[in-house]
């Protein structure tokens, strides 16, 4: 039983929102023992100049073809469409745009602080990353280009320790993301608008990227929107430093979108406690400052929308490698704390976290609306 318990904990850790929140959710020392590396931190050598020219460092980029996980297009479930009715038409982009997507944590090995990339990397981490991209990057598949890099992500245990090695591992992962982003920019037509998106660890890196690389740069005028999903964004302590406002209306551009999903009854206390005590981008703890809650069914900040407004939830098989779209599956309601509430627990699979936390399903829950949202925002962009 102990071995099975450890395996379950380690698997859940892959799916949770952040290391600090993980610790609150799983206070047992077994979690640390199972995930925090015992080896000394070995400084990660910076990427060689133009390293990201290699197609081997990308899960998704132009030219990969049928093996590109972000280009997957799920179909509507046959029993979700009335007899003799046609499936809802898929929206199509009216403007060329490019997407840079950062996948969440898929590496839980405690042999090193950062995931390896050489020799094909860690096989299980690579497999899980591709599964994540299939479900989380595919809502952006109307883009002319999708770029999703491999990077030396921080292992999950790096978020579970106060030791400096954890911060060093996260910084090393960010450095790879930054280099991949710079190559992405150099490769995309400078007249093309861009979308930045990521989930969990990926969204954490994108928050910093927006503040350090995008804000105040010529690229800022090309930003359609940034989707920072599954990672808390403080309205007071993050957004001013990021340098872009929250998306307050459908079709608004140059803005930030974020949500974190819970079914009801929700028990978010551990998540909120960790969020409130963790330093935001301005170096201050958010306390009770609400998280940004973008409603994916309305394109606005906060508010409620019924399940009938949901164009299609990607309901996965338990392996999460396949799934089908079901319209009207869940509603969306932002509560005063900034949590996204989705009503009674929907049947999405085995990886719902304690407290009815639907973290791993943040994007699949609103797959079709996210696709329509990014298409509309890209269509509203106009060259300066």
- For residue 313, the surrounding DSSP H or E stretch is strand 313-316
Cα gap 180→149, rounded to integer Å: 6
Question: 117: helix, coil or strand?
Answer: coil
Cα gap 253→377, rounded to integer Å: 6
**Residue 82 region by backbone torsions, left for phi larger than 0, else alpha for psi between -120 and 50, else beta:** beta
Which pLDDT belongs to residue 304? Answer: 97
Which pLDDT belongs to residue 200? Answer: 93
Residue 72: phi and psi, rounded to 5, are -65, 140
- 233 pLDDT exceeds 90? yes
Residue 53: phi and psi, rounded to 5, are -65, -25
The first and second tokens of residue 145, run together, are 């280009």
What would the pLDDT profile of 322-376 be if each residue is shown by its tens digit?
899 999 999 999 999 999 999 999 999 988 988 999 999 999 999 999 999 999 9
- 240 pLDDT exceeds 90? yes
> Lowest-confidence range among 27-41, 103-117, 190-204?
27-41
Mean pLDDT of 225-232: 96
The first and second tokens of residue 185, run together, are 């920019």
Helix spans in the chain (H):
2-15, 19-25, 29-35, 123-136, 164-187, 201-209, 239-242, 269-277, 367-380
What would the pLDDT profile of 15-69 be if each residue is shown by its tens digit?
443 444 444 444 444 455 567 777 778 888 999 889 999 999 999 999 998 899 9
What would the pLDDT profile of 62-100 be if each residue is shown by its tens digit?
999 889 999 999 999 988 877 666 777 778 888 999 999
What would the pLDDT profile of 261-281 be if each residue is shown by its tens digit?
999 999 998 778 878 988 899
pTM for this one? 0.91
Q: Is 155:109 a contact under the CB 8 Å cutoff?
A: yes
Of the pLDDT bands very low, low, confident and very high (cuts 50, 70, 90), residue 242 is very high
Closest CA to 298 of 359, 245, 257, 339: 257
């Amino acid at each position: 039983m102990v071995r099975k318990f450890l395996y379950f904990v380690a698997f859940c850790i892959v799916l949770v929102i952040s290391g600090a929140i993980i610790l609150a959710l799983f206070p047992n020392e077994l979690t640390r023992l199972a995930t925090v590396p015992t080896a000394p931190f070995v400084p990660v050598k910076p990427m060689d100049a133009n390293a990201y020219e290699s197609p081997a460092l990308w899960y998704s980029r132009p030219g990969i073809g049928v093996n590109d996980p972000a280009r997957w297009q799920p179909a509507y479930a046959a029993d979700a469409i009335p007899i003799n009715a046609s499936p809802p038409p898929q929206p199509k982009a009216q403007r060329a745009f490019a997407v840079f997507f950062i996948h969440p944590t898929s590496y839980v090995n405690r042999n090193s602080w950062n995931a390896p990339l050489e020799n094909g990397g860690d096989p299980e981490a690579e497999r899980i990353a591709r599964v994540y991209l299939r479900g989380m990057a595919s809502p952006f598949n109307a883009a002319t280009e999708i770029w999703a890099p491999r990077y030396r992500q921080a292992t999950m245990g790096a978020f579970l320790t106060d030791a400096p090695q954890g911060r060093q591992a996260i910084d090393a992962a960010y450095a790879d993301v930054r280099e991949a982003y710079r190559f992405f920019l150099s490769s995309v037509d400078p007249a093309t608008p861009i979308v930045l998106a990521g989930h969990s660890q990926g969204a954490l890196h994108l928050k910093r990227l927006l503040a350090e690389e995008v804000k105040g740069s010529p690229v800022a005028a090309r930003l359609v929107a940034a989707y920072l999903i599954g990672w808390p964004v403080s309205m007071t302590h993050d957004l001013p430093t990021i340098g872009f406002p929250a998306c307050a209306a459908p079709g608004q551009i140059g803005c930030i979108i974020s949500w974190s999903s819970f079914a009801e009854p929700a028990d978010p206390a551990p998540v909120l406690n960790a969020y409130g005590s963790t330093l935001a981008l301005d170096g201050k703890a958010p306390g009770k400052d609400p998280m940004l809650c973008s409603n994916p069914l309305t394109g606005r900040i906060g508010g409620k929308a019924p399940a009938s407004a949901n164009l299609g939830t990607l309901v996965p098989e338990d392996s999460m490698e396949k799934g089908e779209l079901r319209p009207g599956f869940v509603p969306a309601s932002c509560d005063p704390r900034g949590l996204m509430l989705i009503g009674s627990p929907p049947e999405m699979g085995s990886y719902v976290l304690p407290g009815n936390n639907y973290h791993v399903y943040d994007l699949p829950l609103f797959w079709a609306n996210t696709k329509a949202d990014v298409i509309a925002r890209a269509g509203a962009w106009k060259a300066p």
